[in-house]
Amino acid sequence: MNKLASDIYNLEVLPGTRNHKGLFVQETAYKLIAIDQSGWALICLDNVSCHYVDPDNLREMFH
């Protein structure tokens, strides 16, 4: 898995986003951890709740 630089990206998932298992992902803010070689984005809500999603279903949060 390719780790990104130390930059932390805060992202939101688009409505209707599903993870790699086909389950809906909660619409809330996540941190982008990495994008793997097969193209899935690993996003985490906290230290326990993480999902692989299509990167096209993410949008950057602006503060």
Length of the chain: 63
Residue type, 23: L
Averaged pLDDT, 24-44: 95
Q: Strand pairing of 41-44 and 9-13? A: unpaired
Question: Residue 40 has what pLDDT?
Answer: 96
Question: Can you give the residue ranges of every domain in the chain?
Answer: 2-60
- CATH class assigned to 2-60: mainly beta
Q: What is the pTM of this model?
A: 0.81
- Eight-state DSSP code of residue 14: P
How would residue 16 be classed by pLDDT, with cut points 50, 70 and 90? Answer: very high
- For 25, other C-beta atoms within 10 Å of its C-beta total 19
Q: Are 54 and 19 in contact (CB under 8 A)?
A: no
Averaged pLDDT, 34-60: 95
